[in-house]
Amino acid sequence: MTKDKVIASLRQSDGYVSGEEISQALGISRAAVNAAVKNLRKDGYIIHSSTNKGYMLHDSPDKLNIGEILALIGKRAENVICLNKVDSTNNHARMLAQQGAPDGLIVVSNEQTGGKGRLGRSFYSPKDKGIYLSMLMRPHCLPTEITNLTAWVAVAMCHAIETVSGVRPGIKWVNDLIVNGRKIGGILTEMAVEGESGHIQHVIVGIGINVREGESDFPQDIRPIASSLAIETGMEINRARLACEMIRALDQLRADWPKQKAAYLSAYRKECMIAGKEIRFVRDGIERTGIAEEIDDDFGLVVRFIDGSRESLTSGEVSVRGLHGYV
């Protein structure tokens, strides 16, 4: 933790800062500051030192750690847990929720060994390439009142990605983030419900964003459909900065929920990229085709099927002709 606090201090300093200043600000010894600087250099940070001036951060690798997050969001980082590796950030957040963790807790990791997607799928989560982040919410409502939360989160993530990259993803109903026709992220919402009252005990929203992967980083079977912000924008995006923008967007969502539904619905309709397109819909093993007409007032996908029937979809798997290999 000392190392994290020191890198946060260096990040927040404009120019050189003395070891004495850092030690007094953090309440640690000069020796501890020196040791932290040595460890940061081993991690790839380029830190200049000068007699009578102190230390200055000159350059740094793309690190997603609590020190980088602390430098960007300050006290909010007190409710953020940053891990190097975990099976699933959703699983870790669930464990903490069961132990009484507060609303707004964030779990973020550099790698997932068992990342999860919708419908039991996996989410490829390689080390030091993406952002794998979960937020714990404790809303006071029934499950039926939170069915459109995933769509809200999709809008929030579009805001965060655009803020950092200048590129605004599209949304493939209901939870995929798309840039140039390829998936760069996804969202998985899970909840626990109290048996007797039917009220929600907690909700965990998990988000995976592919940030710095190259084409060869993806397994062969998903290369045609998966991509990253690096591939699609040509930018080397700082993962800590994007993670903090994601946290800010999620915090704004928590403040907006549920009164600002109209704003999120309008944004979702604008970003949803499948209206007017031919889709294939699968639910309970039954496959149907039709035309996606619009997003209804509850974020459902209104589809007119080839048999002439019209239905508002709230669950199931949708493929879009011309996207993700469906031709």
pLDDT digits (tens, 9 = 90+) for 92-103: 999 999 999 999
Query: Does one domain contain both 167 and 237?
Result: yes
Neighbours of 190 (CB within 10 A): 15
* Same domain, yes or no: 256 and 291: no
Task: Residue count of the chain, please give it.
Answer: 327
pLDDT surpassing 80 at residue 321: no
The pLDDT value recorded for residue 326 is 43
Helix (H, G, I), strand (E, B) or coil at 184: strand
Q: pTM higher than 0.75, yes or no?
A: yes
C-alpha–C-alpha distance, residues 186 and 51, integer Å: 49
What's the pLDDT at 196? 82
Q: Tell whether 109 and 224 lie within a shared domain.
A: yes
> Does the pLDDT of residue 325 top 90, yes or no?
no
Assigned token pair, 10: 């260096």
Looking at the structure, tell me whether residues 131 and 206 fall in a common domain: yes
What percent of the chain is modeled with pLDDT above 70? 97
234: CB partners within 8 A, 6+ apart: none
Same domain, residue pair 197 and 287: no
pLDDT, residue 142, reads 86
What is the rounded CA–CA span in Å between residue 318 and residue 237? Answer: 30
Give the amino acid at 252: Q
- For 139-149, give one letter per residue: b (16+ CB within 10 A) or e: beeeeeebebb
Assigned token pair, 279? 């889709």
For residue 4, pLDDT over 70 is answered with yes
Position 88 confidence tier, pLDDT thresholds 50, 70, 90: very high
* Domain identity same for 220 and 295: no
What pLDDT is attached to residue 33?
97
Tell whether the model's pLDDT for residue 275 goes beyond 60. Answer: yes
Report the domain count for the chain.
Answer: 3
pLDDT digits (tens, 9 = 90+) for 226-250: 999 999 999 999 999 999 999 999 9
Give me the domain span that covers residue 32.
Answer: 2-59
pLDDT at position 119 over 90: no
Alpha carbons within 13 A on the beta-carbon side of 283: 9
